[in-house]
Each structure stands twice: as structure tokens, then as C-alpha cells.
Amino acid sequence: MRRLILLLSVFTGVAAADENAIVLKHGQGKELVSSQCAMCHSLDYITMNATVLDRAGWEKTVSKMITMMNAPINEADKKIIVDYLVKNYSK
Amino acid sequence: MNGRRHFIKKVIAGLTAFGGWSLLQRSGLAATDTALDTSTEKLIGKGALLKKTYRPPNYETPVNYFDTPFTPNSHFFVRYHHALIPEVNVENWRLRIGGDAIGTPLAFSLEQLRRDFETVEIAALCLCSGNRRSAFEPQVAGIQWDSGAMGNALWRGVRLRDVLAKAGINASALEVTLNGADSALLTTTPDFIKSLPLAKALDENTLIAFEMNGEPLPHWNGFPVRLIVSGWVATYWMKHLTEINVISKPLDNVWMKTSYRVPKNLFAGGQFSSQEIETTVPITDIAVNSLITNLLEGQTLPALKPLEIKGVAWDAGSGIARVEISTDDGISWQSATLQQDYGRFSWRQWRYDFVPNRTKQYRIMARATSHSGDSQPFEAVANPSGYHHNAVQKIAVQVV
């Protein structure tokens, strides 16, 4: 069981090798973004929308993940995630 | 505890499904010492596709594969909302028919479906609502599809209405819900379940399909069966179907109430009154559209050499009446030749012979008009989710 929990903790950001080739830009919040977002989807969802979203767009997108998709992300983490995405992946 | 165990089970299944086998091995969780299978990191059974996202897998078809009437299964686009996509064992697989407005709940094996109902075949275009989203100006959030989130295929299966009739439909029936075997890694994520209005579910062109272009459905396109909703966008074409319910109340989930909706009165389309509100309606009918398949933006072409311009055109099922081509930036238009007609839900291939007689830049455009009289607009109709991009293409080629 402990092993399973350990597995879950390393699962974030670890799926297919192809997927692992996606490395987010360094910056404050990178680890949190990688672990929280990759819990459900690969990180190319972020890079794909880098030229599309501004702050309002990322706010809306992260909110959608929380309210519509029930992503287990608290308010404090949400702010860190949005700030990181705006700083590193916004148009 | 059960919930957590279930969650862990799902994550492990997800890891296996997505090439986490090596991780499982390292963790000691793998049941055997099977050699590393790195091929699980690819979409097994698929040819080269254009990757949009790895997980869930979203891959589009390179446009050159639209040169044939039917898109090869190996290169048919892949679109999922959730990352946990089990390999269905057809021996254990059952399609369950139920709901509060069904007479007798029933379950069918694949063999029973094939044996107990009339088999029909329809050529139909499967088109993602967000196909060509990346072409919107300003850009719209979402999967940044180019033109390849679609494919035309020959679908063989049984009519949904025949299967529902066997179970018996109550007078209170309003919608028919569709669920597939795929799900999200987290159990808290809303499962992808869609509904159809009863009338569309009972349409003779709505099929439970088990074959695609004469072969069993590829895993990534819904094995063992998926729904074919001829004329409607692919969000309703549920893959890996496991459960169909006839219900008396509108389905209430985010996939109906929040996603896949368009502003009311903005697009022509089939009715879905039980899911309509004052401001928005579900996306339904495919919009009239066309695509030039053998020219690239900025391509260089030799002068005086005949050029065959090729492409496809489609609509929601009235059929394509004509495709017009302009080689002078829309000043004059000439008719293209429509190729073989495979039925009103199939796309229609077309061709046009053009001899560029001057060395200059040509702006080439194609515009389809349906039998219902709808024609492509010159500018895409903006909408919040970036659906129905059907603006006339403009491709600039350089003749030298």
C-alpha cells in the first residue's frame, strides 16, 4: 500500500516517455504546475495554448479545471499556478 | 477506503495504458518481468498522425490522407476527453440498455448485436466540433486543431432505434444517453456522458457501428462499437459504447450543460429543445464546409503546367450542390467537378483543372454550397468555444 502511495506521488508528470519530453520553463511554481496539471493531462495542454491565452484566459481555464472538472486544487495553489502560466505561457 | 482503492486501481490502469509499464516495473508492481514495451508509448495500430496532446490522446490526420474517398483507419484522427482508455475485451464486453424510460433493460454481446438486428452501412463524415479551431482570429482556447480532426468512413452496424425498440421505449422518453468505457484518472472528474434528443436517436441514420471501412473499429476509434450520428458533430459519436439509457429528464452534466454549446440563433442546426436555454443551445448539425487537400500555403508551382486542384466538401446531410473555385482572390468563380456520390452524409470529393498562365501569386479559394442552400461564409462566425470554423479557405501559391 505504501508503495502504491509512493507510486501516486511520483505519477504526477510521469506517464509516457514521449510525454516526458515536455519540460516546462523554469520559474516559480513550475513544480506545482507540473504536478497538479499532469495529474489529469499531459503538459502539452499548456504549451499548446501559450499563444492563445492571456491572464484572463488562464484564470478562466484554471477555474474551469477546478469548477467543471473538479480538479483538487486549492485557492492558494490556483494563484501560484495562474501566475506561473501567465508569466511563462501567455500571449 | 474503497474509493481510494478504486482510484489507485484506475491510476495503475492508466499508467499501463499510457506506457507507464516501466514505472510499474521499477516500483515492483508489475505482475511479471515482461520486457519493457516501449511501443505502448505510441498509439498502437496507428500510422503517423499530428500530435496535439499526448494524454488524453488527441491526434489529427495529415491533410494528404484526405485524397481518398474514405480516410484510412490507420490515419483516422483520435480525440479523447479522458486519459483512461481500457483495451476492451470483446468476450466480456456488453452493451447495456436501460434508463427510467425503457421498457425492459437489456444487455447485448457484440455477437448478439450482429445476429439479432439488421445490419446497415452508411458513408458518413466524422467531424470534431473544434476542427480548424486554430484558424480563429482572435484565437480561442482549447485543442488547437488544424484541418485534420475529421475523417470520412464507411460505417457498418445496426440501427440504434432497432436496438431500443427491442427493449421498448416508454411514452415519457425524452433523451437517450451514451456512455463509453473510457474515463478520467481521477474518479472525481465528470465522466464523459452525452445525450441525444429522442428523435435523433431514433433516426434511421443513427447507428451502433462495429465496422469502419470494412474492418473492426480500431481501438483508438472506439472498439468494439461506437455511435454514428450521421450529420451531427462527433461529440455525440460515443466511442467504446457500454451503456445507453433512455431517460425522461434532460441529462444534467457539464458535457451537456457547459461544453459543446453555441450561442442561440448563431448557426443553423438540428433541434435539441430539451437542452436549450435562452442564451445557448447544444452544437448539433455539421456546417457546410470544404477543404483544398493538395495545395499548401506559399507553395511554388511551375507556370503553364496544368494544375489539378483537389479537395472535399460536406454538410450535415442535405448533400453538396456545388463547389466553386476562385483563382483570382474571389473576383470570379468557376464550378469544380464533383466526384462520386457516396451518400448525403459522406463528404464529396471534387476537382478543378487550372492552368496558371502568368508568373505571379495566385490566391486560390474553394466555396461549397449545400442542397439546403447554405454556403460557406468568407469569415468564420466567432463563438466562445471556437466551433464550426467553415470560412472559405484562401491559399496563396506562387507561380514561377
Q: Are residues B308 and B268 in the same domain?
A: no
Q: Which of B372, B299, B392, B313 is nearest to B346 (CA)?
A: B313
Q: For residue B274, tell me if it sits in a domain.
A: yes
Residues of A with CB below 8 A from B144's CB? 48-49, 52
B227 domain residue, yes or no? yes
Q: Helix, strand or coil for residue B160?
A: helix
Q: Based on the fold, state whether residues B144 and B275 are members of the same structural domain.
A: yes
Three-state SS at B364: strand
DSSP string, B150-165: EEEEEEEEEEHHHHHH
Residue B381 sits in which domain range? Answer: 289-399
**Number of neighbours of residue B271 by Cβ within 10 angstroms:** 14
Are residues B258 and B112 part of one domain?
Answer: yes
- Counted domains in chain B: 3
Tell me, yes or no, whether B200 and B336 share the same domain: no
Rounded to the nearest angstrom, the minimum Cα separation between A59 and chain B is 12
Does residue B51 belong to any structural domain of this protein? Answer: no
Closest Cβ–Cβ partner in B15, B56, B188 for A70 = B188
- Taking only the tens place, the pLDDT of each residue in A8-47 is 433 433 345 688 889 999 999 999 999 999 999 999 999 9
Measured over all CA atoms, what is the biggest interatomic distance in chain A, rounded to whole angstroms? 44
Residues B139 and B255 in one domain: yes
Contacts of B1 (CB under 8 A, 6+ apart): none
A15–B20 CB contact, under 8 Å: yes
Interface predicted TM-score (ipTM): 0.86
Q: Do B204 and B99 share a structural domain?
A: yes
Give the pLDDT score at B70.
98
Q: Enumerate the residues of chain A whose CB falls inside 8 A of the CB of residue B254.
A: 68-69
**Interface with chain A: mutation pick from B6, B46, B53, B187, highest number of A CBs within 10 Å:** B53
Q: Are residues B253 and B135 in the same domain?
A: yes
Please answer yes or no on whether A16 and B18 come within 8 Å at the CB atom.
yes
pTM, entire model: 0.89
Q: What's the CATH superfamily of A2-89?
A: Cytochrome c-like domain (1.10.760.10)
One domain, residues B110 and B226 = yes
Domain spans of chain A, in order of start: 2-89
Is B53's CB within 8 Å of A69's CB? no
Q: What is the pLDDT of residue B346?
A: 98
Is B146 found in the same domain as B211?
yes
For the record, the C-alpha cell of A82 comes out as: 495562474
- Per CB-CB distance under 8 Å, the chain A contacts of B29 are 3-4, 7
Per-residue pLDDT of chain B (400 residues; tens, 9 = 90+): 344 444 444 444 444 444 333 333 333 333 333 333 333 346 888 999 999 999 999 999 999 999 999 999 999 999 999 999 999 999 999 999 999 999 999 999 999 999 999 999 999 999 999 999 999 999 999 999 999 999 999 999 999 999 999 999 999 999 999 999 999 999 999 999 999 999 999 999 999 999 999 999 999 999 999 999 999 999 999 999 999 999 999 999 999 999 999 999 999 888 999 999 999 999 999 999 999 999 999 999 999 999 999 999 999 999 999 999 999 999 999 999 999 999 999 999 999 999 999 999 999 999 999 999 999 999 999 999 999 999 999 999 999 9
B294 and B342 assigned to the same domain: yes
CATH of residue B83: 3.90.420.10
d(CA B400, CA B397): 10
Chain A residues touching residue B12 (CB < 8 angstroms): 4, 7
- Quote the minimal CA–CA distance from A27 to chain B in Å: 23
For A9, residues 6+ apart whose C-beta sits below 8 A from its C-beta are none
Put simply, the chain A residues between 1 and 40 with a CB less than 8 A from any chain B CB are 3-4, 6-8, 10-11, 14-19, 22, 39-40
